[in-house]
Structure 1
């Protein structure tokens, strides 16, 4: 007797009982009925015989597609096996479940309904008496029946509606198609009201605050992730937070929080979950199995932005290298089509697995790209040598992403470097000449200003390595102009992040001039703090060209 189509707890079941469960797959009910009395009593009788809950899942054609022994939570369909559906639709599957207790559906059962986005959940509470007749006929004694279904998000954040106890006859007479149509019309109206483009990813953010992390730093990091997602073209639907002493080794967040996230994914119709932490390959696989949608971490979001923004051949080259280096250790388990090469019994055989073939191809591509990056490095080195032979001093403009570096270089040199109020608007280094007339002597001096890629908190190591040719513009400069967005609440944290990255660079210039930008939008308290803690800094507004005379005179002095 095969039991491959019966799910849940099968331990201790007799062959005759398994046969009765198998026969449920032959049942079919009218498409406009939620259930029939015959099917409800048959399922209830089997459940009474087993002394265990039984769940039967049906599609909208009235066919039984899954039978399980256990509660709706224990027998639920894995997310990756559910039909693909949008946020404005239900899954097209309903569940008929039995309960040996005279109580309404528990929150665990209702959560399972929401996670699967079921059309409905019907629960029969049993009296404890029932028989199974020879020939497959059955009768069972149902005490009460409850009908539950999902709701569009309401003002009181209710996810579902559960009816009062009813007779099974009343539920069997209800028009199932009318119920589903009315629900999906409501979901569709709510979806349209959210004003999310069909081209946008619908993103759920997840943040984990561990011991040793301040509340302010945690919130700043989450807000930055939201900006990163926005810059990548996604729409943030909601943010979920958790506080734990240490990350969970398998799922980063705790089991209860995984359940909450999975529920929100289905309730809000998210198709992407972004974590504000780097995830291991195993954690990504575990979470995707639980959520049924793609899971990305902070690094992957940044890499996606870089891939969109790279314009030059050099920029695209470096982004591809960073993406491949990130992808290589994450190949295993990224899809059922990829076989896994093991080292024990049953894993050896002729030829090469698809996974190993893919890994080998990526490794070759990485090697080639690294060679091209080295060539790019040499080319830029020659260009720098030519500039140095002309004895023109150079200043590298660095700073946190979106601090206004490109806007500043445009305003100072009347250039047309691309600018936008978003993270990582420009990736490729741009060098422009700036001629400054010394008001004291009347002499003019020329310096070279180089705009560099923006820094960010915990800049991924793969990006640091891949963009080393770009970052060398910093190490070869005579001085650094550190631009700080003073209007940002976390400006002090931004300064620390930039200084940390600069400290990791060999031969970085020791001469540094700090320019606090966007003073027109800065808080007066922040302005006073900056003046007190950084007395040698200059205060400017690049968009309105405020403080430029002071900045030019200071640039002459540092060069």
Structure 2
């Protein structure tokens, strides 16, 4: 492999030849660089009047030669070995610089992003010459040796990522015990890795939030906090949160180029294996970001889909989740590379044949069509069940609200049921219907109604989920009345009310009368309670977990049913 990387255009063929010869050099494994190799590198760099970088593995083999600085010639993250936070990449960079000055931050950042064993910088002065016999003379002014530093606090944003030596002579550099340096560093990384009690079964996640001008600071922070809750619910561990304010998203990477480099730096220093963004990403943006970070990149939609896949229990729920995931995946198959192509093996299939990408796309399209038929059948089955209930003149009241507002806790408290409850986002997905007796407004005889617990809502509900869960959401549109449960203890409760009402407003059929119920009264301060009562004087205030206000709720339900003309 004699490929030259970086800014080599315009060089003479003889100069390219000399650069390619560097691949045939072999260095001892226990020193950073030999004086002979350093002088040869300096002479080539001086002759072409450009910096040169060589990347060497621990066996002393030159594996990459580039023209330019360490940032311009760095190895793409996806081509580097992934050892995590407790290992280095096993590659060192020997670089030249035409000025007698320390390495710049961009080169040091590239060192961290690649988790290089070390960066040795040779600063040059004067002129150098290549000898006929292959030897070289050059003028190396002095050298610098840089390496990574362990990150003792994953959440700290003010740590030093690297150490850079004072200017040292080439003789001192060549006498450095390179193996001792690397082994000592990796021992420190290992100790820090163990001290952090890293659980390899959990994704280690960096959150990224983009704040655009159209969004208020409070809405932006609420969205980031919600994303953190989603990641925790999905089983991830949030290591750091990175924010950027821009007038509009960057079309290629969502965030700016400098922020991309900062995220790549954090990924390497804290040992993250996943980067999660607070908004939807296009397939091209995901590919661009993954090529920069060297780890998986997900957006808000994919995290929600992952949670739904974990939570779905019934056949209906699993069908709908799979449909949503496949519809999300289909446009993201593009750009998987030439490795997906295959050759045909029979008559009519010889030649380039059909690519694996096309085969996979067709397979997914067929699966989507079949799932859509199944969901349509499910929709018809639920419609028949609803018609049967309606024939019995039993009113149906659906409980709606933002995810984790306490809907399942409420239905358990009202009907003495055992619907799954957890302090998580989207703890339950499948609609659950229970019978409830409430007092009749005009007689002493109780009235029976059906109470349905529905999937929790969330702001900016991904379109694939709205489509796939249309059968579930029909429980809302077909309900005779709604109980809108709000978590009053949540700092963004007003925004959550608006989000739920926006989703209800987009329903194909307008829902019936709505009773607004503020939950978790036991966790609310007096100021918030007073504000809610002033803004929503007709609302009801309860604590489902402490069973406070439930009798009043039953009476309100009786009036609601009577108002809708649904009583016996």
Inter-partner Cα distance in structure 2 for 1:431 and 1:533: 31
Partner of 1:538: 540
Partner of 2:551: 549
Q: Secondary structure at the match of 1:520?
A: helix
Inter-partner Cα distance in structure 2 for 1:119 and 1:388: 72
1:489-542: per-residue Cα shift (whole Å, max 9, x none)?
Answer: 000000000000000112232300011000111132211111111111111111
Q: CA deviation at 1:353?
A: 2.1
Inter-partner Cα distance in structure 1 for 2:452 and 2:500: 16
1:51 aligned to which of 32, 49, 52:
49
Aligned 1:52-451 pairs, distance under 5 A: 52-153=50-151, 156-339=158-341, 351-438=353-440, 441-451=443-453
Query: Does the CA-based 8 Å contact 1:474-1:508 persist in structure 2?
Result: no
1:386-414: per-residue Cα shift (whole Å, max 9, x none)?
Answer: 11111111100000000000111111111
Inter-partner Cα distance in structure 2 for 1:283 and 1:157: 29
In structure 2, stretches of 5+ residues that fail to align are 343-350, 562-568
Query: Does the CA-based 8 Å contact 2:53-2:70 persist in structure 1?
Result: yes
Partner of 1:458: 460
Inter-partner Cα distance in structure 2 for 1:455 and 1:336: 40
Q: Secondary structure at the match of 1:146?
A: strand
Q: CA deviation at 1:456?
A: 0.1
Inter-partner Cα distance in structure 1 for 2:377 and 2:295: 40
Q: CA deviation at 1:81?
A: 0.9
Query: Does the CA-based 8 Å contact 2:437-2:447 persist in structure 1?
Result: yes
Q: CA deviation at 1:439?
A: 8.9
In structure 1, stretches of 5+ residues that fail to align are 341-348
Q: CA deviation at 1:557?
A: 1.0
Query: Does the CA-based 8 Å contact 1:285-1:334 persist in structure 2?
Result: no
2:30 aligned to which of 29, 32, 35:
32
Q: Secondary structure at the match of 1:337?
A: helix
Q: CA deviation at 1:334?
A: 3.3
Pairing 1:14–2:12 present: yes
Deviates more, 1:318-327 or 1:132-141: 132-141
Deviates more, 1:441-450 or 1:527-536: 441-450
Q: CA deviation at 1:190?
A: 2.0
Inter-partner Cα distance in structure 2 for 1:358 and 1:439: 60
Inter-partner Cα distance in structure 1 for 2:459 and 2:263: 25
Deviates more, 1:222-231 or 1:175-184: 175-184
Inter-partner Cα distance in structure 1 for 2:63 and 2:447: 80
CA pair 297-335 structure 1, distance change in 2 beyond 3 A: farther
1:50-99: per-residue Cα shift (whole Å, max 9, x none)?
Answer: 11111111011111111111111111001111112111111111000001
Partner of 1:521: 523
Pairing 1:500–2:502 present: yes
Q: TM-score scaled by structure 1?
A: 0.96
Inter-partner Cα distance in structure 2 for 1:330 and 1:339: 17
Q: CA deviation at 1:4?
A: 5.3
Inter-partner Cα distance in structure 1 for 2:137 and 2:456: 71
Inter-partner Cα distance in structure 1 for 2:533 and 2:362: 55
Q: Secondary structure at the match of 1:152?
A: coil
Inter-partner Cα distance in structure 2 for 1:20 and 1:350: 38
Q: TM-score scaled by structure 2?
A: 0.94
Q: Secondary structure at the match of 1:74?
A: coil
Inter-partner Cα distance in structure 1 for 2:198 and 2:460: 30
State the Cα RMSD in Å: 1.6
Inter-partner Cα distance in structure 2 for 1:450 and 1:196: 41
Q: CA deviation at 1:352?
A: 2.4
CA pair 336-151 structure 1, distance change in 2 beyond 3 A: farther
Query: Does the CA-based 8 Å contact 2:71-2:106 persist in structure 1?
Result: yes
Query: Does the CA-based 8 Å contact 2:111-2:118 persist in structure 1?
Result: yes
Q: Secondary structure at the match of 1:72?
A: coil
Query: Does the CA-based 8 Å contact 1:196-1:235 persist in structure 2?
Result: no
Inter-partner Cα distance in structure 1 for 2:2 and 2:326: 39
Inter-partner Cα distance in structure 2 for 1:540 and 1:196: 41
Partner of 1:344: none
Q: CA deviation at 1:128?
A: 2.2
Query: Does the CA-based 8 Å contact 1:41-1:139 persist in structure 2?
Result: yes
Aligned positions, number: 550
Partner of 1:343: none
Inter-partner Cα distance in structure 2 for 1:214 and 1:107: 33
Query: Does the CA-based 8 Å contact 2:439-2:558 persist in structure 1?
Result: no
Q: CA deviation at 1:441?
A: 4.2
1:444-495: per-residue Cα shift (whole Å, max 9, x none)?
Answer: 1211110000000000011001000011011111100000000000000000
Q: CA deviation at 1:335?
A: 4.7
Q: CA deviation at 1:366?
A: 0.5
Deviates more, 1:397-406 or 1:26-35: 26-35
